[in-house]
Structure 1
C-alpha cells in the first residue's frame, strides 16, 4: 500500500478545486446510479448530566448543555440555542469554502449567526410567545478574490447563493424538516 496523503485522509486543503472535484466525482456518480446510497443518517447522542444539563458527545469532545441565563442557568454550560447558531455558522462556513473552491475563488473573513428568542415562550409565561427562534440572521463578512484581484459582485452573489442553497443546516432550518419524537423506557 502506498503512502496516504492529507487529501486522502482529511479531504482537500486550501483552495484546490481539482482535488475537491476528484474526491467528489465518484460520490456524485454513485448517488446518480444509486440514489438510496446518498441517504445517510447522522446522529447525536447525549446523556443527562447533573442538575439541569445534558452532556452531548461530539466527534472531538464532550459538550455539556444547560439552561441559558435567561431561563435560570448560570452560563457555565453551553446553551443549546447557541449551539444551533454555532452549527449554522460551522456548516455555512464549510459550505462557503467548498463552493469557493469549486468556483476557484479565494475567500477570507468571518460569519455570524444571530437569533432572536422570546424566553416567555420556553418558560410558559405567555402562550402567544413562540417557543424557539423568531428570526435567525446569517451574515457573511468576506473578502473574495478571483484571479488576480477582487471578485466581481456577480461572482460573489453566486458564491453566496450556492452557499445558501447547499448549506445543510441552513436549509434544514428554513425548511423545517419533518420531525418525530419517540420515548423508550426500561421494561
Structure 2
C-alpha cells in the first residue's frame, strides 16, 4: 500500500468522523474467564484463546502468557502499525524496521514482599530500529507522529481513568 491508497482508504472514514464526531467513539472490549484448576485467565483475543498466568518470577510455570509481556507486545504491535502507517502516509521508504519494548518490574511489589516496591512497570523503553536512507528531519517527524498517534503508547503515557467493579455473577 502506498500513501495514495492509504489516503483513499481513510478519506471517507475521516470525513464521516468530521461530520459526526460521535461516530468516532468506539468501545473496545476484552473478555476472559478464570481457569477452574490453575492460576490462569483465558482471554478471548478475537483470533484465538490466550491463556495468561503467573510470571515465573512470581511462581508461574512459564507455560502461560504473562500479562506484563502481553502489555509490551500490545505496545510493540500498536507502535509498529502506527510507524508503518505514518511512514506510508509521509512517503518515507523503510526497507525494514524492528520495534522493541522493554519494561522494568520489581516483583517484590507484586508479591507484597516490600511495601516500598511499586506494583507495575517502573519504566518502559520503546525503540525503533529502521533501515532507511531518509533524512534525519523526516525520521524525527516519523517518530513524533508515531508517538502522537499510537493508541497504546498514549494510553500508557497518559494514564486514563480506570473504573474497577467487583460484581456477583
Q: Contact between 2:101 and 2:124, CA under 8 Å: does it hold in 1?
A: yes
Instruction: State TM-score, norm by structure 1.
Output: 0.87
Q: After the TM superposition, which residues 163-174 of structure 1 pair with which residues of structure 2 at under 5 Å, given as runs?
A: 163-174=146-157
Match in the other structure for 1:35: 21
Match in the other structure for 2:82: 95
Q: Render the CA deviation track for 1:60-94: whole Å, top value 9, x for unaligned.
A: 11110000000000101000000000000000000
Q: Render the CA deviation track for 1:103-148: whole Å, top value 9, x for unaligned.
A: 012221201000000001110111111110000000001112xxxx
My pick for the range that moved more, 59-68 or 167-176, is 59-68
Match in the other structure for 2:57: 70
Report the Cα distance in structure 2 between the residues aligned to 1:30 and 1:120, rounded to whole angstroms.
Answer: 49
Report the Cα distance in structure 2 between the residues aligned to 1:106 and 1:156, rounded to whole angstroms.
Answer: 10
Report the Cα distance in structure 2 between the residues aligned to 1:125 and 1:101, rounded to whole angstroms.
Answer: 48
Counterpart check, 1:176 vs 2:159:
yes
Compute the displacement of 1:33 (Å). Answer: 1.3
Match in the other structure for 2:129: 141
Q: Where does structure 2 lack aligned partners over 5 or more consecutive residues?
A: none
Secondary structure, counterpart of 1:106 in structure 2:
coil
Counterpart check, 1:52 vs 2:39:
yes
Q: Contact between 2:92 and 2:138, CA under 8 Å: does it hold in 1?
A: no
Report the Cα distance in structure 1 between the residues aligned to 2:117 and 2:87, rounded to whole angstroms.
Answer: 40
Instruction: State TM-score, norm by structure 2.
Output: 0.96
Report the Cα distance in structure 2 between the residues aligned to 1:155 and 1:127, rounded to whole angstroms.
Answer: 45
Q: Contact between 2:34 and 2:40, CA under 8 Å: does it hold in 1?
A: yes
Runs of 4+ in 1 over 4 A off after TM superposition: none
Counterpart check, 1:115 vs 2:103:
yes
